[in-house]
Amino acid sequence: MALKIVKSRGPGKRVAIFVDYKKVLTAKEPYKPLVVALKKRTARNNQGRITTRFRKNPAHRRLYRLVDFSRLDRKDISAKVETIEYDPNRTAFIMLVCYRDGERRYHLAPEGINVGDEIICSESAPIKIGNRLPLKNIPPGTEIYEVELVPQGKGKLIRSAGSAGVIMGCDEKHATIKMPSGEIRKVSKECYATIGRVSNIDHRNIRLGKAGRKIWKGFRPNVRGSAMNPRDHPYGGGEGRAPRGTRKPKTKWGKITGGRKTRRKRNPYSRLIIKRRK
**Smallest Cα–Cα separation from 75: which of 48, 108, 101?**
101
pLDDT string in tens for the chain (278-residue length): 589 988 888 888 888 999 999 999 999 999 999 999 988 878 889 898 989 999 998 888 889 999 999 999 999 999 999 999 999 999 999 999 999 999 999 999 999 999 999 999 999 999 999 999 999 999 999 999 999 999 999 999 999 999 999 999 999 999 999 999 999 999 999 999 999 999 999 999 999 999 999 999 999 999 999 999 999 999 999 998 999 888 889 999 998 888 888 889 999 999 999 999 88
Cα separation of 62 and 98, whole Å? 24
What residues contact 137, with CB distance under 8 A and at least 6 apart? 123, 124, 125
> How much is the pLDDT for 39?
82
Neighbours of 6 (CB within 10 A): 14
Topology (CATH) of 3-204: OB fold (Dihydrolipoamide Acetyltransferase, E2P) (2.40.50)
Task: Name the residue ranges covered by the structural domains of the chain.
Answer: 3-204
**Smallest Cα–Cα separation from 143: which of 129, 125, 124?**
129
> How much is the pLDDT for 188?
95
DSSP-assigned letter for residue 121? B
pTM of the model: 0.89
**82 torsion bin: left (phi>0), alpha (psi -120 to 50), beta (else):** alpha
> How much is the pLDDT for 1?
58
**Smallest Cα–Cα separation from 132: which of 81, 90, 185, 69?**
69
Q: Where are the alpha helices (DSSP H) in 30-115?
A: none
Find the largest Cα–Cα distance for the chain. Answer: 71
**Smallest Cα–Cα separation from 216: which of 12, 3, 6, 2?**
12
> How much is the pLDDT for 149?
95
